A and B are shown apart, each in its own frame.
Chain A
Amino acid sequence: MADGVINLTIDGAPVSVPAGTLVIEAAKQAGVLVPHYCYHPGLPVAGVCRMCLVEIEKAPKLQIACATTVTEGMVVKTQSAPAKDARQSVLEFLLINHPLDCPICDQAGECELQDFVFQEGQPGTRYGEYAKRFNPVEDFGPDVLYVPNRCILCTRCVRFMEDVAKEPVLNVSERGDRAFIGIHPEARLDHPWAGNVVDLCPVGSLLSKDFLHKARAWELDKTASICTGCSQGCNISLDTRDEVVVRVRPRPNLDVNRYFICDHGRMHYKWMNRGDRIEAPLVRRDGELKATDWDEAFDRIVGILRGASGKAVALVSPGASSESLALAKRLLSGFAWTGAFQIVMGEEAPLPGVPNLALRAERAPNARGAENLGYTRDYAQALEAAKTAAVVLVLDDPDSTVETNGALIYLGTVLPPDAACRRADVVLPIANVAEEEGTFTNRDGRDQRYYQAKSAPGMAQPAAWVLGEIAAALGVTEAAR
């Protein structure tokens, strides 16, 4: 036996796990999902739902897999008759008060009660004709509704607020079958990370107002992405339906955000769906920007770049992919180059229960990546340099107040009416983060990939593709740097 490694058998499969591992986690390694409600790897163990009761050889009675640590030679049976009976009885008990309103419940399709009822084959109860427990829906906070009738009292939300957010505004009120989740009478569930209770809730009891009745879970396509809300780099899933991002949910990454995202990040998606996008390349003709095709746009840019020399300035978004930032720099490698970005700042909001996890003051996902490539934070100086530069390239920075006597090339998703970039010689439509694949480097220097969740509007293309095409047309190669 290797040091600190425990060997055990779960449903006949041998597994070796580090000492101190919980049976429920060891089972995952053996490919066995022990049904559970109150257990969550990101929360302290409560052991209250009693759903994960398993048979352990030599133990006098069934044990809960979520609170039992592995021991050498342990033999765990999750499919034995007593274990299955216990699970079915828990489901029967849960179903006596849980309404079967799945057709109008947002959780349907991703509900752990539905899943395990289906898996264990316990569709109903012998409760009979009694009315189920009824309590009215409560408004808990800016984005959270509590539907007590569906609550199975797993207490994940209570433990999250108490032990992870460290703002214990939720509790279990009352006792026995009258119990419900209560909120402090003078408090709101408005902690900057409170929205996680909606994800944590295994049933449809805690709902996001933002997502309320917006889509059915099974209609959603889920794409791995990285949150653009700040420089933390939380791993997220972009949930889309018919090319529209409808929801952002955390994607577990134990090194970055564990199982959580903040509410700022959760709500930071609506702009991805905006309809006022640049849909075709635009070139200045007779003093006005006119829509054209990519070939003409590229020709115009190649002409500009070939005919210019001296200073070039790149004003970029710290939310652009590292790939596009690198190409934007390479494209201007023949010039005296200055690159800079500006960051929107906000309030820092840590999640106290998780070390090194916060909504960061720097609301940009790739500032570190831009810095690594040589872009600076001295945006004012770059703006000054831009005035006398031969070429200025603005990458996805519609709010830039750029002024220049040289040529202005703008790659962006939108072109607001009063944008300085309306004066550009060429405007190229690019994809936003949900429409392309790319890499961000978070504040701790971690490179993280994000993927395409929906298609880009019109002729828009990923910035990296656009810049790559220009570079190819120019003949700028690696050797030219």
Chain B
Amino acid sequence: MGFPHKPHPKETVVLSQYFGDAEARTLKGWTKRGGYEALAQVLKMDPVAVTDVVKESGLRGRGGAGFPTGLKWSFMPKEKKKPHYLCVNADESEPGTFKDREIMRWTPHALLEGTAIAAHAIRAEIAYIYIRGEFTEPWTFMERALEEANAAGVFGTIKIYLHRGAGAYICGEETALMNSIEGKRGNPRIKPPFPAAAGLFGMPTTINNVETLAAVPHIIKRGAAWYKGLCLSNPKSTGTKLFSVCGHVQRPGNYEVTMGFPLKDLIYDMCGGPRAGRTLKACIPGGSSVPILTRDETESCLLDYEGVVEKGSLLGSGGVIVFDDSTDMVYQIMRLARFYAHESCAQCTQCREGTAWTTKILERILAGQGKPTDLDLLLDLSENMTGKTICVLSDSCAAPVVSGIKKFRGEFDAYLAGKREAVLVG
């Protein structure tokens, strides 16, 4: 992971190679480390050929959905009739995720280079990098790097703009992000039309995550076969992935591992396992929106798109939240639900009302005022909030509730039966 620790021997350091190396932030330092070679190479290539390399590499979207990146690029109209846009999603707001922040803090040029390559591949004149509003430090570094790179003219005719978000979680949803860039309220749009048909300003648009794009220069330079070879389990998941580990571990931080790496090793070896005298209780493997894993599931889980699905969760953004046995799961789930209730954009009925209602029920359970029917009610509400709305914020609120009740029902029952001391939340 680099700064503040040296990379763990089990890490496969690609994206995080220069984390902690302040010199890599400068254009000079980045060029010295082989930066912008891939871009120079790409600018001489046919866009279709670039897309093919990325397709071949098996790179999949690192923002959460895991959609094949090359395939996404190939959805852009073959015949260019309108301006094309590239949006870079640097609105990293998923609770428990902080990988893109480190990429932008330490290797801003890696993101800029990947952005320019992608823009070339989809034949976009303009790329917007939408950076989370709270990311003041990454913003500074990105701004400085962009200035330097522009002064050196490394992007050719491609124009890159930085756009700063204002703190809404929902603006990380791709269509909400586009609305936000357009100056509108950051509300997700109904799909279809998909961005490749009508995205930013109604033009064909591709939107990629920071980590996805940061990987692209490496794929160009070292070849698709090399990237494809970075695979420990399922061949559909290739390359390396940054995992942001937080919560009850001894050494939280970002760790870069090859796809298919065991979650158990990540938590116990790299992060030093739970704090002294504590044992692992549960883990959220892919940011707050995915179902919670139990200790058994965690310890047998392989970190790739398929491996986590097999355990009943999702790889998501790679934000690993670890809970040890001191954790009150009911409280944690209430905190998650409260987050979603706060961030719901208020468009869809189920989400607007459902997230708030879910939070209220969880709060009353914690306060010792739960009713025997509350768990069934929560499960029913979650069912009604899943798969019925424009975006997946509502589903994301339901996921930890459903998995939490299913896997840690005893803790809920203890509150309901008055066997556990009430927690006052407010």
Binding site for B on A (CB under 8 A): 45-51, 53, 61-62, 64, 67, 85-86, 89-90, 92-94, 96-97, 126-127, 130, 152-153, 155, 171-172, 174-179
- Closest residue of A by beta carbon distance from B170: A175
Is B342 touching A86 in the complex (CB atoms < 8 A)? Answer: no
Taking a contact as CB atoms under 8 Å apart, the answer to whether A61 and B346 are in contact is no
A175 to B345, CA, bound (A): 5
Within 8 Å by CB of B353, from A62, A126, A177, lies A177
Q: Is B311 an interface residue (CB 8 A)?
A: no
* Neighbour of B388 across the interface among A53, A155, A176, A179, CB < 8 A: A53
B335 at the A interface (CB under 8 A): no
B248 CB to closest chain A CB (Å) equals: 29
Rounded to whole angstroms, the CA-CA distance of A94 and B357 in the bound complex is: 11
Is B346 a contact partner of A93 (Cβ separation < 8 A)?
no
Give the size range of B's interface with the partner: 20 to 34
In this complex, what residue of A is CB-closest to B384?
A: A89
Known: A45-B190, A62-B388. A127 touches B357 (CB 8 A): yes
Q: Is B349 an interface residue (CB 8 A)?
A: yes
Task: Determine how close the nearest CB of chain B comes to the CB of A55; give it in whole angstroms.
Answer: 12
Q: Chain A residues with Cβ under 8 A from B373's Cβ? A: 126
Question: Are the CB atoms of A94 and B349 closer together than 8 Å?
Answer: yes
The distance from the CB of B8 to the nearest CB of chain A, in whole angstroms, is 40
Q: Are B350 and A50 in contact (CB under 8 A)?
A: yes
Say whether B349 contacts A176, CB under 8 Å: no
A90-B342 CB under 8 A given contacts A47-B390, A50-B388, A130-B360: no
B342 touches A175 (CB 8 A): yes
Least distance between A17 CB and chain B CB atoms (Å): 19
Structural contact, B347 and A48, CB atoms closer than 8 A: yes
CB distance from B378 to the nearest CB of A (A): 11
Task: Verify A175–B384 contact, CB threshold 8 A.
Answer: no
Nearest residue (CB) in B for A130 is B360
Contact of A50 with B346 at beta-carbon distance under 8 Å, contacts A97-B353, A177-B352 already known: no
Give A177's nearest chain B residue, CB to CB.
B356
Q: CA separation between A251 and B144, bound complex, in Å?
A: 60
Question: Beta-carbon contacts of B354-381 to A below 8 Å, as 1s and 0s?
Answer: 1111001000000000000100010000
- Cβ of A93 and Cβ of B387 under 8 Å apart? no
Q: Which residues of B contact A94 (CB under 8 A)?
A: 349, 353
A86 x B388 contact (CB < 8 A)? yes
Which one of B168, B348, B377 has the highest number of Cβ atoms from chain A below 10 Å of its Cβ?
B348
What residues on A are CB-neighbors of B342 within 8 Å?
175-176
Bound complex: CA of A127 vs CA of B374, how far in Å?
11
**Residues from chain B with Cβ under 8 Å of A155 in the complex:** 347
Question: Residue on A with the closest CB to B394?
Answer: A50
A175 pairs with B346, CB closer than 8 A:
yes
A53, B190: Cα distance in complex, Å? 13
A175 / chain B contacts, CB cutoff of 8 Å: 168, 170, 342-346
Q: A126-B377, A152-B349 are in contact. Are A176 and B341 (CB under 8 A)?
A: yes
Can you spell out 18 A-B residue pairs with CB atoms less than 8 angstroms apart? A46-B190, A50-B349, A51-B349, A61-B387, A86-B384, A86-B388, A89-B384, A93-B349, A93-B357, A93-B384, A126-B373, A130-B360, A153-B346, A153-B347, A172-B346, A175-B343, A176-B345, A176-B356
Instruction: Please judge, given known A-B contacts A89-B350, A94-B349, A177-B352, whether A171 and B185 are in contact too, CB under 8 Å.
Output: yes
Q: Which of A47, A86, A96 contacts B357 (CB 8 A)?
A: A96
- Residue of B343, B349, B357, B388 with most partner-chain A CB within 10 A: B349
B294 at the interface (CB under 8 A from A): no
Asked if B332 CB lies within 8 Å of chain A CBs, one says no
Query: Does B384 lie within 8 Å of A176, measured CB to CB?
Result: no
Q: How far is the CA of A89 from the CA of B185 in the complex (A)?
A: 27
Inter-subunit contact B353/A93 (CB<8 Å): yes
Distance, CA A178 to CA B345, complexed state (A): 10
Cα–Cα, bound, A47→B347 (Å): 9
Of B343, B349, B360, the residue contacting A49 (CB under 8 A) is B349
Residues of A within 8 A of B170 (CB): 175
Q: Are A61 and B356 in contact (CB under 8 A)?
A: no
> What are the residues of chain B within 8 A of A152 when measuring CB–CB?
349
* CA distance in complex: A399, B356 (Å): 62
Closest to B341 in A: A176
A93 touches B360 (CB 8 A): no
Q: Which residue of B lies closest to A92 (CB)?
A: B384
CA distance A48 to B355 in the complex (A): 15
Specify which chain B residues have a CB less than 8 angstroms from the CB of A178 in the assembled complex. Answer: 346
| Residue numbers in B under 8 Å from A127 (CB-CB) | 357
Whether, in the assembled complex, B389 has its beta carbon less than 8 Å from a beta carbon of chain A, the answer is yes
Residues of B within 8 A of A126 (CB): 373, 377
Cβ of A188 to closest chain B Cβ, rounded Å: 21
**A172 pairs with B185, CB closer than 8 A:** yes
A89-B384, A176-B342, A178-B346 provided; 16 other pairs, C-beta below 8 A?
A: A47-B190, A48-B349, A49-B348, A50-B350, A50-B388, A62-B388, A64-B190, A85-B384, A90-B349, A92-B384, A97-B353, A152-B349, A175-B344, A176-B346, A177-B352, A177-B353
**Identity of the chain B residue whose Cβ is nearest the Cβ of A154 in the assembled complex:** B349
Taking a contact as CB atoms under 8 Å apart, the answer to whether A50 and B341 are in contact is: no
Give the distance in Å from the alpha carbon of A176 to the alpha carbon of B341 in the complex: 6
Known: A126-B377, A172-B185. A50 touches B389 (CB 8 A): yes
Using CB atoms, name the residue of chain B closest to A178.
B346
Closest beta carbon of chain B to A185's beta carbon, Å? 16
User: By the criterion CB–CB under 8 Å, are B352 and A153 in contact?
Assistant: yes
| Nearest CB in chain B: distance from A36 CB, A | 12
CB-CB under 8 A from A171, the residues of chain B are: 185
State the Cβ distance, B354 to closest chain A Cβ, in Å.
6
- The distance in angstroms between the C-alpha atoms of A64 and B350, with both chains bound, is 13
Closest to A172 in B: B346
B350, A93: Cβ atoms under 8 Å? yes
User: A85 vs B347: C-alpha distance in the bound complex, in angstroms?
Assistant: 20
Residues in A neighbouring B352, C-beta threshold 8 A: 93, 153, 176-177, 179
Closest to B360 in A: A130
Across-interface contacts of A92 in B (CB, < 8 A): 384
**Contact of A93 with B354 in the complex, beta carbons under 8 Å:** yes
Specify which chain B residues have a CB less than 8 angstroms from the CB of A85 in the assembled complex.
Answer: 384
User: Are B341 and A177 touching (Cβ within 8 A)?
Assistant: yes
Listed from nearest, the 8 A-B pairs whose CB atoms lie closest are A179-B346, A89-B384, A177-B356, A93-B353, A47-B190, A176-B344, A48-B347, A61-B387
Q: Contact at B185–A62, with CB atoms within 8 Å?
A: no
Assess the A50–B348 pair: CB atoms within 8 A: yes
Q: List chain A residues, Cβ under 8 A from B341.
A: 176-177
A157 to B57, CA, bound (A): 49
What chain A residues lie within 8 Å of B360 (beta carbons)? 130
A424 to B90, CA, bound (A): 83
Contacts of A61 in B (CB 8 A): 387-388
**Distance between Cα atoms of A350 and B191 in the complex (Å):** 33
Interface centre among A62, A126, A177 (most CB of B within 10 A): A177
CB distance from A137 to the nearest CB of B (A): 20
Count chain A CB atoms within 10 A of each CB in B170, B185, B190, B360 and give the residue with the most.
B190
Q: Which residues of B contact A64 (CB under 8 A)?
A: 190
Q: How far is the CA of A94 from the CA of B356 in the complex (A)?
A: 12
Q: Which residues of B contact A46 (CB under 8 A)?
A: 190, 347
A86 CA to B394 CA in the complex, in Å?
14
Assembled-state Cα–Cα distance A153/B185 (Å): 15
CA A126 to CA B354, docked complex, whole Å: 12
B190:A67 contact, CB within 8 angstroms: yes
- CA A97 to CA B356, docked complex, whole Å: 11
Bound Cα distance A47, B188 (Å): 11
Of B168, B352, B353, B389, most A-chain CB atoms within 10 Å: B353
Q: How far is the CA of A50 from the CA of B354 in the complex (A)?
A: 13
**Which B residue sits closest to A69, measured CB to CB?**
B192
For the complex, give the distance between the alpha carbons of A126 and B375 in Å. Answer: 13
CB closest chain-A residue, reference B353: A93
CA distance A66 to B327 in the complex (A): 45
Chain B residues 216-234 with CB under 8 Å of chain A are none
Q: In the complex, which residues of chain A have a beta carbon less than 8 angstroms from the beta carbon of B350?
A: 50, 89-90, 93
